[in-house]
Amino acid sequence: MKSPIVITIDGPSASGKGTVSRVLAQRLGYVYVDTGAMYRTLAWHCLNKGVDVQDEKKVASACRHWKARLECAEGQVFLSVAGYRPEKEIRESAASGAVPFVARVPAVRKWMKKTQQDCVQFGNLVMEGRDIGTNIFPDTDFKFFLDASPEVRAKRRHAQGVAEDVHQRDKIDSQRAAAPLMRPLGSLVIDNSHQTPEETVAAILQKIDEIRAARRPS
């Protein structure tokens, strides 16, 4: 039995990872995994339980003891907490502001790594995040890194109605000790500052076809 195929889409905040990954997964018939939503779910859980997200020990303890479970529905993997799937809550400003603090905790990243690797139980994946090609599935042949200028990314966040300082988020993500944001070795870097999501998806699909063709026996 062949191992599931994993396509990793990494990049900074507002680089288009989510939109591109969803479309790509639909085109290929793969399962979509938003790893950022997993961190958001933990951030929401901590806030809901009154955990100080700036206290690494308390966050680590909350991560060890929360009743989170991987589930898959309508082609997407998510975390449910005690049987409940928070969706709107994890996109609210409170959870968004807490995510960088939760995500920098080494114990959290260790828990997330195992959990995210377990997503292969659902089949072929398109997985987006900030350390997927470097830390979660570094051995996959299908690694992509999306980027855009800070100005473009800031405009995207504003258009989404999200108040986020992309410069500050980039600094936090790239300087954290545990699995910092980096371009994965061997990844195709795509600057989509002036691309539509469809154009970015087309570039990724073309590269996937090239990789597959190179792997076929002559």
Domain at 33-122: CATH architecture: 3-Layer(aba) Sandwich (3.40)
Residue stretches of the chain with pLDDT short of 50: none
pLDDT at 1: 58
pLDDT at 16: 87
Strands of 31-34's sheet in order across = 68-73, 76-81, 31-34, 125-129, 6-10, 142-147, 188-191
Query: pLDDT digit string (tens) for 12-50?
Result: 888 889 999 999 999 999 999 999 999 999 999 999 999
pLDDT at 89: 95
pLDDT at 60: 98
Beta bridge partners of 72: 77
Cα–Cα distance, 199 to 57 (Å, whole number) = 43
- Matching CATH number, 1-30+129-218, of 3.40.50.300, 3.30.565.10, 3.20.20.70, 3.90.79.10: 3.40.50.300
pLDDT at 201: 97
pLDDT at 202: 96
Does the predicted model carry a pTM greater than 0.85? yes
CB 204 within 8 A of CB 144: yes
